[in-house]
Amino acid sequence: MTLRVAGGTEYDVEVSAVTESGERVVDAITSEYIPIDVDPADPQRLVGAHYYPWYEMADGHRNWTDRVVSRPALGEYASDSERIVDRHVAWSLAHGIRWWSISWWGAGSGTDVALRETVLEADRVDELEFSVLYETVGRFGEFDLDMDRPGARRRLAADLTYLENEYFHRDNYLHIDGRPVVYFYVAGGLEGDVAGAFDAAAADLDVDPYVLAGVPFGRPPTGPVMAVADGLSPYNPYDAREDIETVFHDRYEAGNKMLDLGARAADVDMIPVVIPGYDDTGLPARIREDNPVLSASPERFERVCDQVNPHLADAPAVLVTSFNEWYEDTQIEPDETHGEAYLDTVAAKLASADSRGFDPTGAMLEMEFDRAIQPDGSSRHLSFMATRIAFAADGRSLVSYDIGGSPEPLYVGECTTPNPTTARRGGGSAARMRRRACSSMRTSRARTR
């Protein structure tokens, strides 16, 4: 006889029978752990979520629910629990999440052990794709994120070699354009010869990783990482300002436009990010900054997902920050208050909703310079400075802008001239590197009215 059960636990089964002599015989057995039964959703786009397998896996993560502001529906769990990971996989599959970007703090770390020994051994995890969220601050913080320092370069090379040997070859490791994806947290803060460091690190690899760069939200995508970035995805659109509750949605909409246009100007992919809110006030004062609260709610999350909708049409994926970063209250994992409300929104608004597309009107202006000057009395070298820009055609003025006024052109690029020899192996031509660095502006007709 076969019994259909929901799974996610062991089952006590009592069997009774009556013998030919009329004697009643009772026996009880306990089954092995039965994985959760789930009916996967069929999403129309790739939806991912940043996933944290660090709970009770390393120092500082014990009794972790004492330092969070929401209560997990599963209670205080350990990330190396087969039952917990099975539940997370089931929730993800049922709501259209098919990609986990998994926090990784180095070979042998708690997150690495949980990933290898529990997450990737979970039932049905092969129906998800995964990639590594490279914890850049944790790996390079002692080197001040300076990729000119030999220690930082050695660590990057060793880490990528380990990731290739351990993970990149797995059937469900996420690839974009045939290349294994690595999300580099706060990559916009990397300094020095980033291109040279990545080129050296990739020299002994059999693959060319797809560098998904975590860049600041709402700012032009600039800096040394743009020489190696294949895609851009800010980790968190939250901004630590006192009026964040009031201004968040306006800033979020404008920031997505900046990111989308900046990615187009740089000729890289854009993978937008959504959050339900932000609140780290549960952390001890000694380890947190004074970050104002952006209250999380299903209503806010629905609005965020509606706002990001136009940018989903051309994006290879969309990321949620986060599946279970409870310390910052960005999680969509069910809690005691909202249950599966956030997951239901992911299914309805991200996984299956049609995108209306983002197609701004206007013009793109690119400028290239072959030298810089140092104005009298200034310590800065400038190649371009403007206080006013005007556009004309056939002697007729079309539009003009006072720089610093409102409205003004949207600046989405960087004014610099990288050395063509720093282009990564397999990362594109020198011409592409130069195009990425050009200063460019695009304006929307609606914005200039």
Listed residues 318, 351, 384: the one ending a domain: 351
Query: Under a CB-based contact definition with an 8 Å cutoff, are residues 440 and 366 in contact?
Result: yes
Residue 39: inside a domain, yes or no? no
Q: Peptide bond preceding 397: is omega within 30 degrees of 0, i.e. cis?
A: no
Residue 195: inside a domain, yes or no? yes
Residue 160: inside a domain, yes or no? yes
Residue 395 belongs to what domain range?
A: 364-448
At 437 the three-state DSSP class reads helix
At 102 the three-state DSSP class reads strand
Please indicate, yes or no, whether residues 264 and 151 belong to a single structural domain of this protein: yes
Work out the pLDDT band at 447, boundaries 50, 70, 90: very low
Structure tokens at 58: 């390393």
Q: pLDDT value at position 10?
A: 64
Q: Report pLDDT digits (tens) over 33-81.
A: 667 778 899 999 999 999 999 999 877 798 999 999 999 999 999 999 9
Residue 154: inside a domain, yes or no? yes
At 429 the three-state DSSP class reads coil
Average pLDDT over residues 93-118: 97
The closest of 330, 303, 334, 329 to 319, measured between CA atoms, is 330
Dump the DSSP string for 176-196: ETTEEEEEETTGGG-BS-HHH
Query: Does residue 435 have a pLDDT over 50?
Result: no
Q: pLDDT value at position 4?
A: 67
Average pLDDT over residues 433-449: 28
Query: Under a CB-based contact definition with an 8 Å cutoff, are residues 223 and 188 in contact?
Result: yes
Listed residues 323, 351, 379: the one ending a domain: 351
- The CATH number of residue 317's host domain is 3.20.20.80
Number of domains, the chain: 2
The most confident of 12-16, 283-287, 350-354, by mean pLDDT: 350-354
Average pLDDT over residues 331-353: 98
Listed residues 351, 378, 408: the one ending a domain: 351
Query: Does residue 28 have a pLDDT over 70?
Result: yes
**% of the chain at pLDDT higher than 90:** 67
Average pLDDT over residues 271-289: 94
Cα dihedral 74, 76, 82, 83, rounded to 10, equals -20
Dump the DSSP string for 36-75: PP------SS-EEEEE---TTTSTT-TTGGGG-SS-BTT-
Please indicate, yes or no, whether residues 383 and 417 belong to a single structural domain of this protein: yes
End-to-end CA distance of the chain: 72
Strands, sheet with 364-367, edge to edge from the N-terminal-most edge strand: 364-367, 439-442, 410-411
Please indicate, yes or no, whether residues 178 and 319 belong to a single structural domain of this protein: yes
Q: pLDDT value at position 78?
A: 96
Work out the pLDDT band at 219, boundaries 50, 70, 90: confident
Task: Show contacts of 119-123: CB within 8 Å, 24+ apart.
Answer: 119/53, 119/79, 119/85, 120/170, 121/82, 122/82, 122/85, 122/86, 122/89, 123/35, 123/36, 123/86, 123/89
Residue 181: inside a domain, yes or no? yes
What is the chain's length? 449
Please indicate, yes or no, whether residues 282 and 387 belong to a single structural domain of this protein: no
Q: pLDDT value at position 443?
A: 29
This prediction has a pTM of 0.83
Instruction: Please tell me the chain's helix, strand, coil percentages from 3-state DSSP, rounded to the nearest 5.
Output: 30, 20, 50
Q: Report pLDDT digits (tens) over 354-389.
A: 999 998 876 677 777 777 888 887 877 777 777 888
Structure tokens at 353: 């909703």
Q: Report pLDDT digits (tens) over 155-169.
A: 999 999 999 999 999
Q: In three state form, how does the secondary structure of 298-318 look?
A: HHHHHHHHHHHHHHHCCCCCE
Please indicate, yes or no, whether residues 126 and 172 belong to a single structural domain of this protein: yes
Task: In whole angstroms, give the CA distance from residue 227 to residue 197.
Answer: 11
Query: Under a CB-based contact definition with an 8 Å cutoff, are residues 447 and 419 in contact?
Result: no
Beta-bridge mates of residue 203: none
Residue 400: inside a domain, yes or no? yes
Query: Under a CB-based contact definition with an 8 Å cutoff, are residues 408 and 444 in contact?
Result: no
Beta-bridge mates of residue 397: 392
Dump the DSSP string for 252-298: HHHHHHHHHHHHHHHT-EE--EE-S-B--TTS-GGG---PPPB---H
Please indicate, yes or no, whether residues 183 and 284 belong to a single structural domain of this protein: yes
Please indicate, yes or no, whether residues 111 and 217 belong to a single structural domain of this protein: yes
Please indicate, yes or no, whether residues 381 and 346 belong to a single structural domain of this protein: no
Please indicate, yes or no, whether residues 346 and 404 belong to a single structural domain of this protein: no
Please indicate, yes or no, whether residues 392 and 260 belong to a single structural domain of this protein: no
Q: pLDDT value at position 423?
A: 32
Residue 40: inside a domain, yes or no? no
Please return the burial class of 128, using the count of CB atoms within 10 Å of its CB with bins 0-12, 13-18 and 19+: buried
Query: Does residue 418 have a pLDDT over 60?
Result: no
Please indicate, yes or no, whether residues 334 and 444 belong to a single structural domain of this protein: no
Residue 13: inside a domain, yes or no? no
Please indicate, yes or no, whether residues 144 and 250 belong to a single structural domain of this protein: yes
